[in-house]
Structure formats: C-alpha cells, structure tokens
Amino acid sequence: MNIASVRRPVVPPTPPRAPDDMSFLGRVALLRQNMIATWGQRAYEEDVIKGRFFLQHSFILNRPDAIRHVLLSNYENYTRTPAGIRMLRPVLGEGLLIAEGQAWTHQRRTLAPAFTPRATANLVPHMTAVLDETIAKLDTQTGAPVDLREIMQRMTLEIAGRTMFSFGMERHGPTLRNFVMEYGERLGRPYFLDMLLPVSWPSPMDFPRARFRKRWTEFVAMLIAERRAAGKKDGAPPRDLFDLMDAARDPETGKGFSDEQLVDEVATMILAGHETTATTLFWALYLLALDPDTQEEVASETGGEHLDSMADIDRQKLTRAVIDETMRLYPPAFLVARSARDKDDAAGVEIGKGDVIMIAPWLLHRHEKLWDQPNAFIPKRFMSKEAPDRFAYLPFGAGPRVCIGAPFAQAESVLALARLIGAFRVELADSVPVIPHGVVTTQPDRSPPFRITRR
C-alpha cells in the first residue's frame, strides 16, 4: 500500500548533500557548523561506509543487523568516543550518560525506577501546570509573530525544573539557559585537537571547559541545596524526580548517590532532557505549519479536551505519530558514536580495536533502502500495522544504553503538542526555508516567526 496515496506529502527542506569527493579539510571545517551537511548521497544509499575519522578507521553503519550487534548483542565492546567524552564531561561529570562499566550498571539500576512510565505518570500534573501557563501567555500573543522555538525552550526548561525540583524556574531559569547557551555555542563544539588527542591528553579547549565545569557544578549544587531546604514531609509520597533520585538505592548493593554524584545525575537529567524535547516540539510545530491538513486532524483528535493524565496522553494516537515522524525526520540526537574496545565482527562488518562506529539516526531515518518516501512527512506510517525495524528507527538509541528519559520525553511531547494544537492554529509568518543544523542536537538554522490564532 502506498502510505501517502491520499494527498501529496510535505517534503521539508534539508541542507544540500556534500559532494562524495569533498576534501578532508573541507569536511572538518563543516563539521563544527553542521555535521549533517558533511554526509554525501552515498551515506543515504549504502549499508556500510568505511572511511577515516582523523587517525582512526571509521564506519557509518546503516544496516539494522550490524547496529543491533553494536548497541545490543555486544554493547560492552563499545564505549563513547574520546571526542564525545571530552565534550560532555564538563557538563555531565560522571553522570549516567558518560559512566561506563560497573559505575554505569550501578547508576542505571539505581535510577531506573524513577523513569518508568508509571513514575512518569506521577509527573504529568507538573507538565500540565506549565502547559496551562504557556497557553495563557500565548493567548496574549495571538495575531503578532511569535518565536515558538524560544517559547518551547523556556517551556521544556520550566517542565524540567518543576518535575525535578517542584519549584518554578523564573528565578534560576535564565542563569541555567545562559549556561546551556554558553556551552553549546563554543565549548561544546569539537575543535580539531579535541578529535585528534586521546582523552587523557588535555586539548587547549579543555582549560576553559574545566573553568566552566566549576561554575556549573556550583550552580547545580545550589539548586539542590534550595530544594533540600524546601524539605520533604515524613511519609509523604515523592513529589518530584529529586525526591525519587535522592531516595534511590541500588537494588543489589543498597547504595545511594553521594552529594557529588547527585549533582552530576541532576545536571544530566536537566540537560539531556530539556533541549532535546524543545527541539522535537519546535520541529513538530514547524511541520504542522507546513501541513495544515494534518494539523487540523491533530486538533480534532484532541477534541478540545483538557488532557491531564497518562491515559489521556495514550489516547492521542495521531499526535503520537506526528511526534514519531518528527523524530524520524529531525532526530534531536542526529549521531550516536562509539569507539571499539576490541576487534569485533558486527554481523559481517570487520571492526578493529579503536575504530569509530557512527550510527546516525539522521541518515538511518532517511535511508533510501529502509523507508518509503524517506524525506516526506507522513505521520501515518507510524500508525500502520508494520512497525519500523527496531534498529532502523533510533531517536532514543537502543539496547541497554537506550535513553532512560524516553517515556518522559514522549509523554511530555505528545501532551504539549496536543494541547498547543488543540488551543491554537499555527502558521508560519514567513516563507524562508528552515534548515536543520547538526550541532549538539538537530537545531534549526534560524527561529522562524510563527502566527497563532485561537481555535
């Protein structure tokens, strides 16, 4: 069946594909601005592309069986790359995203109960409260052009703050955003030596990164101290993620987190969660503005209801499909990279010790062999009976290191999109294309003005 037989689907703009013979230096220069633009047509057509990543051999894997091997069957053979650790450690410390081996097992086991769909359901009231406020604010801005990207960033930060600490982010939100911007715009981008040197050798940018880390951890520790001062009533159920994380114990060893570890875990959860979800919501709103018919269908699905529970969220099947399709076309984590500890055979791909493995959701999700009309926005493909191959659709990664916040992010994105589209008709106020840039996450190259009107 042709999944797009009824009307011609929207094909949103993308950066031009790099010429396959682009020079090494040309690629390196482009890498810092937009990694997505460094990939040529071959990367969207071939199963495995062998190349070099600085001094190492590298593989782009587009074959689900080989990806399954790396992320699941033999995942212990693959670690984060030196460049990835260098970029992330100053902000995430030794938190879950960076940890390896025993330290990772302990953290994942300890944190898992706080991130189950059931634990997430208890956080939905925090999300709906922020959404009510966002919609009330937007009500005062109908007609005039609005920057929905910025509004989504503020909203997801507010949700991250309230679900974590139960307090609003009006006082600390601007400082937190400044930290995020400062890091993302300069220190979080890879420089030549960052990629060349092993992690144990400092690169020139590691010095300002270390200074940043000191200020950042002091800030997060201050947030935790404020939250502790607000206290917890004895015997009362946990109010927020902080209560859950503070009380969490490893089911096997009975150990909880030290104060220092808690700073890294809290930093990880706030940072890993809010920008990725804001990006998803921005692109979903952009796509629905380009596709008014689908937007109307989403609006009628919500039926103007005040959605406020997990059961309500689960009923929004089309909205969920729009979020899934948005994360197919614009996966916030456009690249999942690994470095091989030892040589391996990944479903027939011979990998050497130290080789860099690139699993790029951006490429995989638009691969010619894996998808029908790969560049078109067709949410209903996620409503058909044939689910996409688990290892061809990876917005949250896969295997033991799959995103721990996926149930949270999915609930938040579906709830927010359903509520926003249920309340407002969303259009673009200009017709300049918005081009995705792969830097840290899949960001738009500009914040287009939107126009919203009350339904």
Please report, as ranges, the residues that interact with ligand HEM according to CB under 6 A.
96-97, 108, 268-269, 272-273, 276-277, 280, 332-333, 336, 395-397, 401, 403-405, 408-409
Q: Between vectors from CA 182 to CA 176 and to CA 184, what angle results, nearest 5°?
A: 100
Residue 254 CB burial class (10 angstroms; 0-12, 13-18, ≥19) = exposed
Nearer to ligand HEM, 90 or 332 (CB): 332
Residue number, 361 or 448, with CB nearest to ligand HEM: 361
Task: Count Cα atoms within 13 angstroms, Cβ side, for 414.
Answer: 25
Q: Indicate the residue among 279 and 451 with the shorter CB distance to ligand HEM.
A: 279
Exposed, middle or buried by CB within 10 Å (0-12, 13-18, 19+), for 7? exposed
> Minimum Å distance from CB 75 to ligand HEM?
9
Task: Provide, rounded to whole angstroms, the least separation between the CB of residue 404 and ligand HEM.
Answer: 5
Residue type, 375: N
Which of 150, 148, 189 minimizes the C-alpha distance to 173? 150
Which residue, 130 or 403, has its beta carbon nearer to ligand HEM?
A: 403
Between 82 and 451, CB nearer to ligand HEM: 82
Residue type, position 340, single letter: A
Grouping H, G, I as helix, E, B as strand and the rest as coil, residue 267 is: helix
Smallest separation (angstroms) from ligand HEM to the CB of 285: 14
Shortest distance, position 398 Cβ to ligand HEM, whole Å: 8
Nearer to ligand HEM by Cβ, of 184 and 397: the residue is 397
Q: Which is nearer to ligand HEM, 239 or 451 (CB)?
A: 239
Query: Which residue bears the tokens 């062999």?
Result: 369
Shortest Å distance, C-beta 256 to ligand HEM: 17
Structure tokens at 168: 């609003």
How many CB atoms lie under 10 A from the CB of residue 64?
21
Comparison of 106 and 381: residue with beta carbon closer to ligand HEM: 106
CB of 364 to ligand HEM, least distance (A): 12
Is the CB of 34 or the CB of 268 nearer to ligand HEM? Answer: 268
Interacting residues of 13 by C-beta distance below 8 A, sequence separation 6+: 433, 434, 435
Tell me the closest approach of the beta carbon of residue 261 to ligand HEM, in angstroms.
13
In sequence order, the β-bridge partners of residue 346 are 349
Shortest gap between Cβ of 279 and ligand HEM (angstroms)?
A: 7
DSSP string, 302-330: HTT----SHHHHHT-HHHHHHHHHHHHHS
Q: Are 334 and 362 in contact (CB under 8 A)?
A: yes
As given in the structure block, the two tokens for residue 297 are 């269908």
Q: Which is nearer to ligand HEM, 212 or 393 (CB)?
A: 393
Specify whether the CB–CB gap between 133 and 157 falls below 8 A.
Answer: no
Instruction: Map tokens 């030549």 to a residue.
Output: 192
**Which residues on adjacent β-strands are paired with residue 52?**
57
CA distances from 108 to 89, 102, 341 (A): 17, 10, 21
For residue 90, how many C-alpha atoms fall within 13 Å in the half-sphere facing its CB? 26
Residues contacting 210, CB < 8 A, separation 6+: 90
Least distance CB 268 / ligand HEM (angstroms):
5
- Residue 101's CB is within 10 A of a number of other CB atoms, namely 9
In whole angstroms, how close is the CB of 378 to ligand HEM at the nearest point? 20
Identify which of 280, 271, 272, 273 has the alpha carbon closest to the alpha carbon of residue 420: 280
Nearest position to ligand HEM, beta carbon = 405
C-beta closer to ligand HEM: residue 18 or 436: 436
Least gap, CB of 277 to ligand HEM (angstroms): 5
Shortest separation between residue 332's beta carbon and ligand HEM, angstroms: 4
Tokens of 188: 């979080």
Query: What CA–CA distance (Å, rounded) separates 249 from 120?
Result: 18
Please state, in angstroms and rounded to a whole number, the distance separating the CA atoms of residues 169 and 155: 10
Partnered with residue 358 across adjacent β-strands are 60, 337
Nearer to ligand HEM, 238 or 449 (CB): 238
